[in-house]
């Protein structure tokens, strides 16, 4: 089939890069390094300071009670 041929060719072409795809462990290491960096800490501190300066959110308004829902009717 043409679809399987094209799909196989695409995967075969991708194998030639020589660099394996990052794994979840690679991401976890990157994330750990990122969270330990001074740039991340600085941005995080600025963001926390910004949110500390905001007002507390108000309670949501109560829903308007419109009584029982009308019954649905099937069309024939």
The pLDDT assigned to 3 comes to: 87
| 36 inside domain | yes
Q: How many domains, in total, are found in the chain?
A: 1
Retrieve residue 24's tokens.
């979840």
**pTM given for the model:** 0.47
Tell me the CA distances in angstroms from 50 to 34, 37, 46, 56, 59, one per residue in order: 21, 20, 6, 13, 21
**For residue 61, is it left (φ>0), alpha (ψ between -120 and 50) or beta?**
beta
Specify the pLDDT at position 4.
Answer: 87
On whether residue 45 sits in a domain, the answer given is: yes
Give a yes or no: residue 66 inside a domain: no
Q: What is the pLDDT along the chain (76 residues), one digit of tens a residue?
A: 888 888 888 877 766 567 777 899 999 999 999 999 999 999 999 999 999 988 888 888 887 776 676 677 777 6
Examine residue 17 and state whether it is found in any structural domain, yes or no: no
């Amino acid at each position: 089939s043409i679809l399987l041929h094209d799909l196989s060719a695409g995967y075969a072409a991708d194998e030639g890069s020589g660099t394996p795809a990052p794994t979840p462990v690679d991401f976890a290491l990157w994330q750990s390094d990122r969270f330990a960096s001074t740039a991340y800490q600085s941005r995080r501190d600025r963001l926390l300071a910004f949110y500390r300066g905001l007002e507390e959110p108000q309670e949501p308004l109560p829903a308007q009670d419109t009584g029982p829902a009308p019954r649905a009717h099937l069309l024939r």
